[in-house]
C-alpha cells in the first residue's frame, strides 16, 4: 500500500458530477475517498467515521451548497475540535472570502475551475506527501 492510499479524503460538494469527477481523480492518484453532498451530510459521515475508529486526513469542500454550506461546515468542525485540514474549492471566490477562509484555519483554497494536476499537487502539499510543491496558494 502506498503512502497516498493510507490517506483518507472526505469530498463535500453538492454538484454530483463535480463530486464524482473529483473522487475519480483522487482515487486514481491513490487516495481513499468518501463523499458528501452538503455540510450536514459531511458532519454525519465524520461523526460516524470517528465512532468507527476511521480517520479522515483531509476535507475538501465547496462553499456554496444547500442545507449547510462550506463555511458552516468549517465552523462546526472547529466547534467539534476536529483537527482535520480543510481545502476549499469554489467558483464564487473573492478576496474577502479567501481571507475569511484562511482566518478560519483552512489549509488551502482553489478557484473552480482548476487544473487537475494543481489539485493533486495542493493535496500532496497539505498532507505533506512526497512530491509536494512549495508553491503558494493557487
138 located within any domain: no
The answer, yes or no, to whether residue 122 has pLDDT greater than 70, is yes
Full domain range(s) for residue 88: 4-127
135 located within any domain: no
CA–CA gap between residue 137 and residue 78 (Å, rounded)? 22
137 located within any domain: no
pLDDT at 21: 95
132 located within any domain: no
Total structural domains in the chain?
1
The answer, yes or no, to whether residue 123 has pLDDT greater than 90, is yes
pLDDT at 136: 36
- Bigger pLDDT: 105 vs 34: 34
pLDDT at 2: 58
136 located within any domain: no
pLDDT 10s digits, 38-76: 999 999 999 999 999 999 999 999 988 887 788 889 999
Query: What are the beta bridge partners of residue 12?
Result: 36, 61
Q: What is the CATH number of the domain that holds 110?
A: 3.40.50.2300
pLDDT 10s digits, 77-105: 989 888 899 999 987 667 777 888 788 88
121 located within any domain: yes
pLDDT at 137: 38
Average pLDDT in the 115-129 region?
92
CA–CA gap between residue 36 and residue 46 (Å, rounded)? 10
Query: What is this structure's pTM?
Result: 0.86
104 located within any domain: yes
Q: Indicate the DSSP class of residue 36.
A: E
Task: Check if the beta carbon of residue 10 is closer than 8 Å to that of residue 56.
Answer: yes
Sign of CA dihedral 134, 75, 63, 24: positive
12 located within any domain: yes
Task: List, in sequence order, the alpha helices (H) in 1-138.
Answer: 16-28, 39-51, 70-79, 95-103, 116-127
Task: Check if the beta carbon of residue 113 is closer than 8 Å to that of residue 89.
Answer: no
* Closest listed residue to residue 18, CA positions, set 30, 26, 29: 26
Amino acid at each position: 500500500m502506498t503512502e497516498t492510499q493510507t490517506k483518507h479524503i472526505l469530498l463535500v460538494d453538492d454538484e454530483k458530477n463535480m463530486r464524482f469527477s473529483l473522487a475519480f481523480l483522487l482515487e486514481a492518484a491513490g487516495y481513499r475517498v468518501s463523499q458528501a453532498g452538503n455540510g450536514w451530510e459531511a458532519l454525519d459521515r465524520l461523526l460516524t467515521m470517528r465512532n468507527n475508529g476511521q480517520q479522515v486526513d483531509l476535507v475538501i469542500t465547496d462553499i456554496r451548497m444547500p442545507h449547510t454550506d462550506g463555511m458552516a461546515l468549517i465552523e462546526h468542525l472547529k466547534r467539534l475540535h476536529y483537527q482535520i485540514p480543510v481545502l476549499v474549492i469554489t467558483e464564487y471566490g473573492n478576496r474577502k472570502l479567501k481571507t475569511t477562509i484562511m482566518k478560519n484555519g483552512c489549509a488551502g483554497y482553489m478557484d473552480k475551475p482548476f487544473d487537475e494536476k494543481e489539485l493533486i499537487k495542493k493535496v500532496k502539499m497539505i498532507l505533506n506527501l512526497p512530491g509536494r510543491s512549495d508553491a503558494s496558494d493557487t
